Chains A and B, each alone.
Chain A
Amino acid sequence: MLVFDHVSKCFGDLRAVDDLSFELEAGEVFGLLGPNGAGKTTAINMAVGLLEPDEGVVRFADEAFDRNPRDAENRRSLGLAPQSIALYEQISGADNLRFFGRLHGLRGSDLEERVAACLDFADLVDVGKKVVSKYSGGMQRRLNLAVAIIHDPELVLLDEPTVGVDPQSRNAIFERVEQLRDEGKQVVYTTHYMEEAQRLCDRVAILDRGRLMALDTVPALITAHGGPGNLVVRTGDGESRHETTDPLATLAELQASQTVDHFQYLPPDLETVFLNLTGRALRD
């Protein structure tokens, strides 16, 4: 449905997105993982037509995406939850949903059904009539997500949806994203949290300084770029760390020469993938 074909975007001398290509597959959660400034939000803005690529084409539903940001037809199929909370705080959560639903052409009972469904999705049924300014940060985040799906789009773009939320609210958002996947939606999920990408995304594109460093499923990325894991052992001489691709063999080898009081295996993850690909830690 969504295709980036050798897309580049510059802001002055800064090449925010550099020759980015990928194609979403049906019913997957697609992750854009990278540190701040990697080009994730620029990519999202091009995907929804807010920005025009300088080079390449963003295609949508197998047709050339109309770069006019006001083209109505393409927008009916996508929903965006911006990185910052984008809600009208002076009106209620239900009214926010109602308003954006109307903009997407919903009317009457269809609209009310969708409003009810989205309040339920965001677990805000009890506070739907309260003004948004009275909501907690986590509730606003969930409503921010719910507004993106009020018109039941096929493609949902979530731009760092967990920024600034507590662990409990983050888990609630994870559950909503998984629910969207279960409903067959395509989801583009940008994050700089490795754990989120690892938990939620079927495939992950690793971005750094606008360039696509790697793209695959999480296990495949780890296999290809993760390198060896680390076996941490504690003996009478203290704690030591050993790189290994076969932790059991390494442990047996160590036990043959000394008494191991405690051990822990740290497999490679997306953090190590990113480190190996870029030479920098993900959170640098």
Chain B
Amino acid sequence: MNKIVAMAAKDIHILFRDKLGFFFTIFFPLMMAIFFGAMFAGLSRGPASIPIALVDADRTAGSARFVGRLEAAGGLAIERIPGDQALEQVRRGQTAVLVTLRPGFGAALDNPFVATPEVEMSVDPTQFAAAGMVRGVLLEAAGAELQAFMSDPSRMSVTNEQNRRLIEEFSPPSEARDDLLNVLDQIPRIPVLIDEAGLGSVTTGATGGFGPPLEIEQTQVQAQRRGPTNSYATSFAQAMLWTLIGGSVSFSMSIAIERSRGTLMRLLVAPITARQLLAAKGLACLGATLFTSSALITLGITVFGVTPTSYPLLALALLSGSICFCGIMMVLSVIGRTEQAAAGVGWGIALPFTMLGGGMVPLFLMPEWMQTLGNISPMKWTLIAYEGAIWRGFTLSEMLLPCAVLVAIGVLAFSIGATRLRWDTG
């Protein structure tokens, strides 16, 4: 065992002394993580409009007018769908906010002296920023609606007449009833009085002495997390995949390098067995990829705010991914017998599989057929396992499939590589 560890330690030592190899193993993936993370973060910061689901439970001319005003205001992409479906969309994280116009909304909008229009906002708790913006747009629209009401004496007269009839019908004669009716008589004159008082220019948008133009009740929806909450969660998963690819290609080259530099001859005449030599190569690859991928995600967690949904499952994913690429390393070693061939074959095989497996463009952005085709790529299973632990919120049973696939690929590939590897020195 000591000899295996000594050989593995030597290989890892050499890998980290090789500046180019070290760059491709850890810095290149890190740069990708930061680049794509920043890119997707930038995309998510500045959308043209915030997608919301809207349910009009009032279904009156007033509520329809308010929705029209929201649509005209811009800033919101409104999808009008049934209530249950809309709530489910928020739960799944597909929509940030569900806005429900409650019954009586239109009546309150048309009669602000009696009631305040009520709206319910059902919010994905991870989308508070978007919810705040939606709240602002709603209030702005309601304010505009109130201003339009206050600026239209004919609408106010109609409303006053309705209110007068209500008072006269339900309130017995009294001094208070008379005062209230007098106030109602003065209300249509308010715009004229404002103009006469020279205040026309300073009251635009004002709601006069009324309270908030809209009453918003906000509730949180327990979201089923279906997407990364942090753009770096995606990019760091990809970066960790790249460390595995870089590590496996580097180690596949190491056997060719040992052969061309003559050190393989020294190893073969040393008192070690072929199995020990293979085990050392495998251990070195496993250790290096495990270390670099762990280092990357640690950086992602501590510096870039990546929050894995499960640390034990993350550890399982890291180990499974490293085992898989350890096997891939052995197969690449067999195919490429010289340094140049090993490098060419390694990257030549790795890149297409990586593209297909979501290593360059996130899987969830790919078309359905491409995601299906990607099942043949070990890179895809690695990403599924990583993402499952980082942001997909996999359970143990959900994680078992990708991890089992990875370990199976690793063991099979290592076995094929080990049996086909020729230990000749020339």
Give the B-binding residues of A (Cβ under 8 A). Answer: 48-50, 69-70, 72-73, 75-76, 78, 80, 82, 84-91, 95, 99-100, 102-105, 107, 131, 147
Q: Are B268 and A69 in contact (CB under 8 A)?
A: yes
Q: Which residue on chain A has the smallest CB distance to residue B7?
A: A103
A50 touches B268 (CB 8 A): yes
| Interface pair B271/A50, CB less than 8 Å apart | no
Q: Could you tell me if B266 and A70 are in contact, using CB atoms closer than 8 angstroms? A: no
Q: Please name all residues of chain B whose beta carbon is closer than 8 Å to the beta carbon of A70 when the two chains form the complex.
A: 268, 272-274
What's the least CB distance linking B135 to chain A, in Å? 60
Q: A75-B269, A88-B14, A131-B17 are in contact. List 14 more A-B contacts (CB 8 A).
A: A49-B269, A50-B265, A70-B273, A80-B266, A85-B262, A86-B265, A88-B10, A89-B261, A90-B13, A99-B7, A102-B3, A103-B267, A104-B270, A105-B271
A72 touching B6, Cβ below 8 Å: no
Q: Which residues of A contact B6 (CB under 8 A)?
A: 99, 102-103
Of chain B, the residue at the smallest CB distance from A90 is B17
Contact: A87 with B263, CB < 8 Å? Answer: yes
| Contact of A90 with B272 at beta-carbon distance under 8 Å, contacts A80-B265, A100-B266, A102-B3 already known | no
Cα distance, A78 to B269, chains bound together (Å): 9
Find chain A residues with CB under 8 A from B262 CB. Answer: 82, 84-86
**Cβ-based interface call for B18 (8 A):** yes
Q: Are B263 and A48 in contact (CB under 8 A)?
A: no
Q: 29 A-B pairs, CB-CB below 8 angstroms? A: A50-B265, A50-B268, A69-B423, A70-B268, A70-B273, A72-B271, A72-B273, A82-B262, A82-B266, A84-B261, A86-B262, A86-B263, A86-B265, A87-B261, A88-B10, A88-B14, A88-B263, A89-B261, A90-B14, A90-B17, A95-B13, A100-B270, A102-B2, A102-B3, A102-B6, A103-B272, A104-B270, A107-B2, A131-B17
Q: Does B372 contact A (CB under 8 A)?
A: no
C-alpha spacing A105/B1, complex, angstroms:
11
Type the 1/0 row for B251-270, where 1 means its CB is closer than 8 Å to any CB of A: 00000000001110111111
Instruction: Give complex CA distance A248, B3 in Å.
Output: 64
Q: Nearest 8 A-B pairs (CB), nearest first?
A: A86-B262, A72-B271, A102-B6, A90-B17, A103-B270, A75-B271, A84-B262, A70-B273
- Contact surface of B with A, Cβ cutoff 8 Å: 2-3, 6-7, 10, 13-14, 17-18, 261-263, 265-274, 423, 425
Closest residue on chain A to residue B424 by CB atoms: A50
> For the complex, would chain B's binding face be called helix, strand, loop or mixed by DSSP majority?
helix
A95 to B9, CA, bound (A): 11
Instruction: Determine whether the beta carbon of A147 is less than 8 Å from that of B266.
Output: yes
| Bound CA span A70–B270, Å | 8
> What is the CA–CA distance of A50 and B264 in the complex, to the nearest angstrom?
11
Closest CB-CB distance, A188 to chain B, in whole Å? 13
Q: Which residues of A contact B268 (CB under 8 A)?
A: 50, 69-70
- Which residues of B lie under 8 Å from residue A95 when comparing CB positions? 13
Which B residues are CB-close (under 8 A) to A50?
A: 265, 268-269, 425
Q: How far is the CB of A1 from chain B (nearest CB, A)?
A: 16
List chain B residues, Cβ under 8 A from A107. Answer: 2
Contact A82 B265 (CB under 8 A): yes
In the bound complex, residues from chain A placing their C-beta under 8 Å from that of B13 are: 90-91, 95
Complex Cα spacing A169 to B10, Å: 29
A241 to chain B, nearest CB (A): 44
**Least Cβ–Cβ distance between A85 and chain B, in angstroms:** 7
Which of A75, A100, A103 gathers the greatest number of chain B CB atoms within 10 Å? A103
| C-alpha spacing A99/B2, complex, angstroms | 11
Among residues of B, the one whose C-beta sits closest to the C-beta of A159 is B265
Cβ contact within 8 Å between B18 and A90 = yes
A179–B270 Cα distance when bound, in Å, is: 23
